[in-house]
Amino acid sequence: MTSFQPSQIIEEFKNFIHSSCTSCETEIEKFSSLHKGIIKMYFGARRVEIDYKLQTIKAEIPISDYEFTTVNFECQDLDRFLSSCIKKDKRSLNFYQSSLNYYNHIPGALSQVA
């Protein structure tokens, strides 16, 4: 696997988030696990549900090492919300690059950088 600069990975992943959120209804289900994975990684959540029609997110987030609480919130702009969950740590960058590879998202900007 070719490695890229963190800023390139983040930029391309944001572009991918945007395209996954603007997909038609039948395609959005294809990206549901990606969207949930982003939220799980950012919040350390263990269960995430996204209702795309009602524009709500329900997640169990940690309040201590062994306790979780359920939060429900309205999310009218999923694209913007998911993009705001992007971190720059090594674990997250590996997740983003792996996700781009898994979904065969071959970005023009990254494919030209060596």
Indicate the domain borders of the chain: 6-111
- Whole-angstrom distance, CA of residue 32 vs CA of residue 37: 8
Query: What's the pLDDT at 23?
Result: 78
- Whole-angstrom distance, CA of residue 29 vs CA of residue 4: 28
Give residue 38's identity as a one-letter amino acid code. Answer: I
Q: Does the global pTM surpass 0.85? A: no
- Whole-angstrom distance, CA of residue 15 vs CA of residue 60: 27
Mean pLDDT along residues 75-89: 95
pLDDT digits (tens, 9 = 90+) for 30-78: 899 999 999 999 999 999 999 999 999 999 999 999 999 999 999 999 9
What are the tokens at 57? 């997110």
